[in-house]
Amino acid sequence: MMPMHILYGGTFDPVHHGHLRLALEVSERFGNVPVHLVPCYIPPHRGETGATAAQRLRLLELAIDGEPRLRIDDRELRREGASYTADTLRQLRNELGPDVPLVMVLGTDAFAGFDLWKEWQQIPDLAHIVVVRRPGTLLDPEGEPARLLTERGGEAVDASARASGRVIELDPPWLDISATGVRERIGRGRSPRYLVPDNVWEEIRRLGLYGACPVKNF
Ligand code: ATP
C-alpha cells in the first residue's frame, strides 16, 4: 500500500499535551503512520509569538523525544517569512509525487477560518483535510468551510485510497488545554505541570520563556 504522509501544523507556542495526544490519536487512526508536526514561522493571522522560532522548535524536539510516531518538519522555519500552508503542501507534493496520500490535520477552530487562508481553494487538490472536532467551536453552516465538508466529506479509510481531495471529520477525545492557557499560567507564576511534558516545562524555565522565573515558578 502507498505510504501516507500526515502533517499537523501549528504555532506550538508552546507545544502541550493537547497537541501531542491529538497527533498520536490521528497516527493510530491511520494505522500508526507517523505524524509530522510543522511549526509555523510567523503566523499570517496572528501577532507576535511568546518564544522565538528556534525556541519553539527546541521545545517540540524535547516533547516528541522517544515517540517514533511523532516527527518534526521544520521547513516553514527554514523558509522564514510568513508560513502559508498552500506553499508547504505544494512543496511536499513535489517531493512525494502525485500519488502519495497527503493529509493535513487541524482543529475545528482553525478550519472555521480556512477560507481566509492564502490559496485555500487549491488546498483540497493538494491534500486531504482532517478536521478534528474541537468542543465549543461551531462551523457557520452557511460558510465555505461547512460547504467543503459537505461536498468533500469522507471517512478516514477514504484517505488512503487517493492522494487528496477529501475532508474528513474525526472526533477523538480532546484535552481541554490551550497554549494561551499555558502561557497565562506561567506568566502568573503558576505551574503548567501535567499540561506540558516535564522536560518541556524544565526547558521553559531554563530559558525564562513566557515570563517564567526559576525562583517564582516551580
Ligand atoms: P493558542 O492558545 O496560542 O491559540 P493552541 O493551543 O490553540 O494555541 P496552536 O499551535 O495554535 O495551539 O494550534 C495548532 C493546532 O492544534 C490547531 O489546529 C488547533 O486546533 C490544535 N489544537 C490546539 N489545542 C489543542 C488541543 N487541546 N487538543 C488538540 N488539538 C489542539
| 127 Cβ contact list (under 8 Å, min separation 6) | 7, 89, 93, 102, 103, 104, 164
Provide residues with CB under 6 Å of ligand 1. 10-13, 18-19, 22, 106-107, 109-110, 134, 174-175, 177-180
Q: How far is the CA of 170 from the centre of ligand 1 (A)?
A: 15
Q: How far is the CA of 31 from the centre of ligand 1 (A)?
A: 23
Q: Are 45 and 17 in contact (CB under 8 A)?
A: no
Domain contains 186: no
Q: How far is the CA of 180 from the centre of ligand 1 (A)?
A: 9
Domain contains 203: no
- pTM: predicted TM-score of the whole model, two decimal places: 0.93
Q: Which of 11, 38, 42, 46 to mutate to test the pocket of ligand 1 (most atoms within 8 A of CB)?
A: 11
pLDDT at 3: 85
Q: Is 7 helix (H, G, I), strand (E, B) or coil?
A: strand
pLDDT at 122: 96
Domain contains 90: yes
pLDDT at 82: 81
Burial 37-75 (b: 16+ CB within 10 A, else e): bbbbbebeeeeebbbebebbbbbbbbbbeeeeebbbbbb
Considering its fold, how many domains does the chain have in total?
1
pLDDT at 81: 79
The closest alpha carbon to 206, from 42, 62, 20, 39, belongs to 62
pLDDT at 135: 82
Residue nearest to atom 25 of ligand 1 (CA): 18
Domain contains 156: yes
pLDDT at 1: 53
CA pair distance 211, 182, nearest whole angstrom: 11
Q: How far is the CA of 82 from the centre of ligand 1 (A)?
A: 19
User: Which atom of ligand 1 is the closest one to the Cα of 134?
Assistant: 20
Domain contains 216: no
- CATH no. for residue 159? 3.40.50.620
| Beta-sheet pairing, 102-107 with 128-132 | parallel
Q: How far is the CA of 1 from the centre of ligand 1 (A)?
A: 31
The domain of 159 spans: 5-176
Residue nearest to atom 14 of ligand 1 (CA): 10
Domain contains 132: yes
Mean pLDDT per block of 10 residues along the chain (218 residues) reads 88 96 96 96 64 94 98 92 91 96 95 94 97 88 94 89 95 92 95 97 95 70
Q: How far is the CA of 110 from the centre of ligand 1 (A)?
A: 8
Q: What is the chain's alpha carbon radius of gyration, rounded to the nearest angstrom?
A: 17
CA pair distance 88, 107, nearest whole angstrom: 18
User: Which atom of ligand 1 is the closest one to the Cα of 22?
Assistant: 29
